[in-house]
Amino acid sequence: MGDQCAALRRFRLRAGLTQEALAERSGVSVRTIRGLETGNRRNPQRSSLRQLADALELPDGDRAELMSAEQASAKVVPRQLPPPPRRFTGRHRELAELTDAVRAADGDAVAVSAVGGAGGIGKTWLALHWAHRHADDFPDGQLYANLRGFDVSSSPVRPEVVLRAFLEALGVPSASLPLEAGALHGLFRSLTEGRRLLVVLDNARDTEQVVPLLPGRSASAVLVTSRNRLTGLVATHGATAVELDVLNRDDARQLLVGHVGRHRADGEPGSVAELLDHCSGLPLALGIVAARVTGHPGFPLHALAEELRNTAARLDGFDAGEFTANLRAVFSASYSALDAGAARLFGLLGLLPSPDVGVPVVASLAARPVPAARRLLRALEHAHLVHQPQPGRYRMHDLTALYAAERARAVLPAHDRAAALERLVDHYVHTTIAADRMLRDRPAVLELGAPGPGCVPEVPRDIGAAMTWLATEHDILLEIQALAAAQGWHARVWRLAQGLGIFHWRRGMFEENLVSSQRALAAAEALNEPEAIAITARNLGYDHLKLGRHAEAAGYLERARLINEEHGFTEALAHTYGVLTHLAERGNDHRTAVGYALKSARLFRSLGKPDDEANALNAMGWHQVMLGEFDTARELCTRALGMLGEGRGRGKEVCAVLHSLGYIAKKTGQYAEALWHLRRSIPLYEEIGDEFAEANAWEDIAEVHAAMGNTREAEHAWRTALTMFESQNRIADAHRVSARLSPLVHSIV
């Protein structure tokens, strides 16, 4: 009643009338007016209220507010929340965020929280779970409305329709409700002012649909769920954005086991694990699986796991027979809300072999400029069809990606899909070649033709950027290579392998390079290109050598040598002799290694390649050290360093020579000189990203310090080397360093 009392007094004062003047004008007694304004007169006659409204010449909205006095005096307390979710799991952080948002308002303003996330992520469950836990905090009641923002079968509910339902729930008879939308809004704000209500607005389409439904100034709280990011609500109404992601593995398992029963789950732990993999943490997917499993209590869990194993038909398995329990239908509702450009990009993203992608790649995939691609990605992010785990990189949920692939096949013509796929592969291949050229500091051995129209590859600005790009994209690059092989794009396959080689070797990723090189050799053989065959065979030989498979290495290297000699590929032959020096070293045949290195140096000299010749001379020097011929070794390595200093030199070669000179000084007891050379090599190794060789240099530095009695410095260097060996999965090297560290640590203690 208090709100209506205040309303009558406000309207009277606004009209500039005393209680007596209003009584004279309306025909309602002064006593009645005074009782209404003080709240002492309850259940006034409707005729009296109508007379007062006429006398005050109130517009519709104010008239409806005044006319609601009779009904509001009873103070109806609505309880509209749907039942709470039965098996709610996890979401502790998000629940705390909602609680904190309400507390932060401190009763002075309406607290608004926008719960966002993809379809099926559990937004409604979160809102209802929190609402039921905190219902007692809102003594004036709880209002609920499904705004149907993404229903395929119907349009979003207009705010006026919801307002009418809310006002009726608050005790206003339908016959008293004004017709005009603005009047409805005003009446709702007036009736809710000063109250403590909880309003849950589920499945909102946008901010415009929500704003008219916000209560008046009060200690009320509003929870809004939407598949779209309600940025306007955050920006203009101070809403707290609570974003939902998939459930973690433990929470997902708890949810699934809660449905199927622990006894049944414990009986088939492998099937449960596989079902969790297929659901990828999406609550709706878990719920659908649970519904299907519990619907057939006699069926083994592995039957459904096997059905979902087929990626192409997996979405068929996420259908429990109803629209709200059909994952494809849920995705369709979000997809249908996209404009044409965003919908096309969504389908194109379904062609990706990996759900994680950068903006420049998307630009080439869609044949759009980078700014346009970024705008379309933001539209998909706004719809929660992709998310941005870090600036400039976007990721799509595994099940969403399957739906995107379906949309691509259904909507995009075959020639559009083929062209987009070719642009995608070209982007990765050409950017890898550009990165490799930066690492090698020289032109690529063999060039690849220009990329297809609409493809704009990236060009790393320096060595650090090249290594970072290759590290970030590494996993998808191997998938792209497999994709290109499946398409029969052989030139792209072997050139991509060539572009990855230096990166793999500097990171000690020889197993990965072996896989890449095997695909490359098959592609080169399909092309019947002798030079490509020789290069890939040499790379395979090096990979096998680093993995300790000396017989396999020898076979591939011999094949490369014969092809190079037969066809006169002089530079390739020189590089092959360089790898053969390593093979001879593994057999402790350092005389043969020196001979191979000498052949390599002479060939590079004949080609006028002083940097490569210096590298071969350094190899000769290294093997002279192994033979105990230190003076000859120092002379060769010093000569090599001088040759590299005469020109611009390449970081890799300079590092190698400095490391050799440091090792020679260490072996001859010249420890200060050894440290000087080895320390100079470290920043150069870091600059070019050669972590494999850098780890070796740190071990040598540790040994020099140990020989000098610098215990703490030795410990630091060995720990650095150990960390790097472990990160490179160099088990034997890590064990060797650990063995040196153990007694050293005890001596310090």
Domain locations along the chain: 2-72, 92-243, 249-328, 650-749
Fold exhibited by the domain 92-243 = Rossmann fold (3.40.50)
Q: Is residue 655 a contact partner of residue 681, using CB atoms and an 8 Å limit?
A: yes
* Helix axis angle, 671-688 to 651-667, nearest 10°: 160
Q: What's the distance, CA 209 to chain centroid?
A: 30
Pull the structure tokens for residue 356. Answer: 């994680």
Q: Which two tokens stand for residue 693?
A: 């060789």
Of the candidate CATH numbers 1.10.260.40, 3.30.1370.10, 3.40.50.970, 3.30.470.20, the domain formed by 2-72 belongs to: 1.10.260.40
Alpha-carbon gap, residue 678 to 670, rounded angstroms? 12
Q: Is there a contact between 29 and 23 (Cβ–Cβ < 8 Å)?
A: yes
Distances from the Cα of 360 to the Cαs of 451, 459, 710, in angstroms?
A: 14, 11, 50
Tell me the DSSP string of 451-507.
PPTT------SSHHHHHHHHHHHHHHHHHHHHHHHHHT-HHHHHHHHHHHHHHHHHT
The whole-angstrom separation of Cα 744 and Cα 732 is: 19
User: Which residue type occupies 461?
Assistant: R
CA–CA dist 432, 416 (Å, integer)? 24
**575-584 LR contacts (CB < 8 Å, sep 24+):** 575/538, 575/600, 575/612, 576/534, 576/538, 577/603, 577/616, 578/615, 578/616, 578/619, 579/538, 579/541, 579/542, 579/545, 581/619, 581/623, 582/542, 582/545, 583/541, 583/545, 583/550, 583/553, 583/554, 583/557
What is the rounded distance in angstroms from the CA atom of residue 245 to the CA atom of residue 394? 14
Residue 9: DSSP 8-state: H
- How far is residue 105's CA from residue 112's CA, in Å, rounded to a whole number? 9
Cα 435–Cα 441–Cα 444 angle in degrees, nearest 5: 65
Cα dihedral across residues 376, 381, 384, 386: positive or negative: positive
Residue located via tokens 């290495």: 553
Task: Determine the pLDDT at residue 647.
Answer: 41
Q: What are phi and psi of 218, to 5 degrees?
A: -170, -175
Identify which of 581, 546, 543 has the alpha carbon closest to the alpha carbon of residue 561: 581
pLDDT at residue 206, as a whole number: 92
So what's the pLDDT on residue 144?
96
With tokens 């072997």, the residue in question is 494
Do 2-72 and 650-749 show the same overall fold?
no
Encoding tokens for residue 105? 């308002």
Q: CA 487, CA 498: separation in Å to the nearest integer?
A: 19
Phi, psi of 388 (to 5 degrees): -115, 90
Q: Which residues, 6+ apart, have CB-to-CB distance to 574 below 8 Å? A: 599, 600, 603, 604, 607, 612, 616
pTM for the model stands at 0.79
Q: Taking the CA atoms of 67, 70, 71 and 76 in sequence, report the sign of the dihedral they define.
A: positive
Query: Cβ(496)–Cβ(430) under 8 Å?
Result: no
CA distance 178 to 44: 20
182-187 long-range Cβ contacts below 8 angstroms, 24+ apart: 182/61, 183/59, 183/60, 183/61, 183/64, 184/61, 184/160, 184/212, 185/61, 185/159, 185/212, 186/61, 186/62, 186/65, 187/61, 187/64, 187/65, 187/68
CA distance 487 to 499: 19
Q: Which residue has the tokens 């995705």?
A: 331
10-residue stretch averages of pLDDT, the chain, 749 residues long: 64 86 84 74 69 85 70 69 88 93 78 91 94 90 92 85 91 80 85 89 93 88 93 90 93 90 89 93 91 84 89 86 81 92 96 91 96 96 92 92 94 95 96 90 63 92 92 95 96 94 91 96 96 95 94 96 96 95 93 96 94 93 93 93 67 86 92 93 87 91 92 92 90 90 62
- Amino acid occupying residue 115: V
Task: Place domain 650-749 in its CATH homologous superfamily.
Answer: Tetratricopeptide repeat domain (1.25.40.10)
Specify the 3-state DSSP secondary structure of 114: strand
